[in-house]
Chains A and B, each alone.
Chain A
Amino acid sequence: MKPQAIASKTRKGEEEIQSRKYALERNLRYMLILVDGKSTIEQLINEKGSHLADVEAGLHTLAVQGFIAIDGVSLCEGGDDCMVPASDDISALKAALVAAARDILGADAGSIVSRLEAAPESREGLQETVNNCKKVVRLLIDEQKADALLARCATILQGIA
């Protein structure tokens, strides 16, 4: 898992928090509670979960079992349960979009990250900014990366893993 990736609870993760349906062991449940859709993997390991043992392995287990998604992408093949619910938290969405841009574009992400950070505080505004960013990436950076960025951002905005 990349240190700057954002972890978010999936529907399965939300369900586990609310009903303990999947009877997660205590340590993993603590880690799941810490996942807020804003913190990076690095922050979860070194700050929020610093008092817990082996957070990185725990997060990986949660991701594989479909309780969390990394940068809006699930590592689980469990269907709808592993999808990230569409978030109404615009700043969390923005953070996930920025993380996706950094992941896909690497050193060339600078101007795209600035555009995403300056995007309007609405889902429609974010969608429009993502579309514009895709055009800029196609023109100035790389056509394939533009398609990958659009697909990843669509996943994040629609809450589909």
Chain B
Amino acid sequence: MAAIFNLEISLVISFAAILIMVFCLLQVYTLKAKIPGGVIGKHWNILVMLVVLFSVGYLATPFFGALPAELMRLIASLIFFFGAIYVLITIRLIYRIIQELTA
């Protein structure tokens, strides 16, 4: 009973995460059309690629239970790695924006 409850909770969280990521995907593409280039445009292209990557990864989460443990660990570490890159790019982008606006 507890195991089924845990499974349902994790599925609900996974689906919520997928919905949020799909929303993020729509947002980054909508904004991309308004950012033809410049400092933000360069960073934005990388962010779009990462959001696409995360979306694919998130869409696969409901099927994680069927994957071998070794592969799951590899996927989890890759998600952490690209998550760190995403944060790094976001921080650098904010830093450059502040630099440009205060120059």
Using a CB–CB cutoff of 8 Å, the interface residues on chain A facing chain B are 108, 135, 137-143, 146
Contact = CB atoms under 8 A, between A and B. Distances in A.
Among B34, B36, B38, B101, the one with the most A-chain Cβ atoms within 10 Å of its Cβ is B38
18 contacts: A135-B100, A137-B38, A138-B38, A138-B39, A139-B38, A139-B39, A139-B97, A139-B100, A140-B34, A140-B35, A140-B37, A140-B38, A140-B40, A141-B37, A142-B37, A142-B38, A143-B38, A146-B38
When A and B form their complex, which 3 residue pairs have the shortest distance between CB atoms, in order from nearest?
A: A140-B38, A142-B37, A141-B38
Interface residues of B, number: 12
Given A138-B38, A140-B38, 20 more contacts: A108-B36, A135-B100, A135-B101, A135-B103, A137-B38, A138-B100, A139-B39, A139-B40, A139-B100, A140-B34, A140-B35, A140-B36, A140-B41, A141-B36, A141-B38, A141-B41, A142-B37, A142-B38, A143-B38, A143-B39
Interface secondary structure of A, over-half rule? helix
Contacts of B101: 135
Contacts of A108: 36
